[in-house]
Amino acid sequence: MTGKKNILVIGSGAREHALVHTLSRSGTVREIHAAPGNPGMLPLAKLHPVSDAACASILPLVKRHGIDLVVVGPEAPLVAGLADELRSAGVEVFGPGRAGALLEGSKVHAKKFMDRWGVPTAPWDECTSLQDVEEALAKRSAPFIVKADGLAAGKGVFVTKTREEAFLAAENLLVRGALGEAGKRIIIEDALSGEELTVLAVSDGATYRILPPSQDHKRVYEEDKGPNTGGMGAYSPVPWVDEELLERVRRSILDPTFDGLRHDGVPYCGVLYAGLMVAPDGIPRVIEYNVRFGDPEAQVVLPLLEVDFAEMLFACCEGRLSEFRWEEPSKWAVDVVLASGGYPGTFEKGKEIEGLENVSSMEDFVLFHGGTTFSPEGKILTEGGRVLSAVGLGASLEEALVNAYAGVEQISFENMHYRRDIARRAIIQRRGGI
Give the residues lining the site for ligand GLY (CB under 6 A). 216, 231, 290, 294-295, 297
- What dihedral angle (degrees, nearest 10) is formed by the CA atoms of 99, 158, 302, 209? -50
Is 231 or 344 the residue whose CB approaches ligand GLY more closely? Answer: 231
Stretch that binds ligand AMP, among 175-183, 188-196, 309-317, 341-349 (CB under 6 A): 188-196
Choose among ligand GLY, ligand AMP, none what residue 297 binds, the Cβ cut-off being 5 to 8 Å by kind. Answer: ligand GLY
Residue 298 carries which side chain, given as an amino acid letter? A
Choose among ligand AMP, ligand GLY, none what residue 295 binds, the Cβ cut-off being 5 to 8 Å by kind. Answer: ligand GLY
Hey, which bits of 138-230 come out as E strands? 144-148, 157-160, 186-189, 195-203, 208-210, 215-216, 219-221, 225-228
Single out the residue of 231, 234, 36 nearest to residue 153, CA to CA. Answer: 231
**What is the contact mask toward ligand AMP in residues 356 to 395, using x (rule: CB under 6 A)?**
----------------------------------------
Distance between CA 201 and CA 208 in Å, rounded? 6
Q: Which of 125, 126, 171, 196 binds ligand AMP (CB under 6 A)?
A: 196
Cα–Cα distances in angstroms (integers) from residue 50 to residues 10, 37, 158, 348, 429, in the given order: 10, 9, 33, 24, 46
List of residues 6+ apart from 65 with CB closer than 8 A:
6, 8, 31, 33, 46
Listed in sequence order, the DSSP H helices in 139-254 are 163-174, 243-249
Asked if 137 touches ligand AMP (CB under 6 A), the answer is: no
Choose among ligand AMP, ligand GLY, none what residue 196 binds, the Cβ cut-off being 5 to 8 Å by kind. Answer: ligand AMP
Are 380 and 39 a contacting pair, CB within 8 Å?
yes
> Closest residue (Cβ) to ligand GLY?
294
Asked if 76 touches ligand AMP (CB under 6 A), the answer is: no
Residues in 202-231 at the binding interface with ligand AMP, rule: CB under 6 A: 218, 228
Distance between CA 108 and CA 289 in Å, rounded? 12
Stretch that binds ligand AMP, among 186-194, 199-207, 399-407, 408-416 (CB under 6 A): 186-194
Choose among ligand GLY, ligand AMP, none what residue 38 binds, the Cβ cut-off being 5 to 8 Å by kind. Answer: none
Choose among ligand GLY, ligand AMP, none what residue 159 binds, the Cβ cut-off being 5 to 8 Å by kind. Answer: ligand AMP
Q: Which of 62, 269, 287, 380 binds ligand AMP (CB under 6 A)?
A: 287
Give least dist CB 353 to ligand GLY, A. Answer: 23
Is 179 or 315 the residue whose CB approaches ligand GLY more closely? Answer: 179
At 365, phi and psi to the nearest 5?
-145, 135
- Cα three-residue angle 348-352-358, rounded to 5 degrees: 130
Please give the residue ranges that form the binding site for ligand AMP (CB under 6 A): 122, 145, 154, 157, 159, 189, 191-192, 196, 218, 228, 275, 287-288
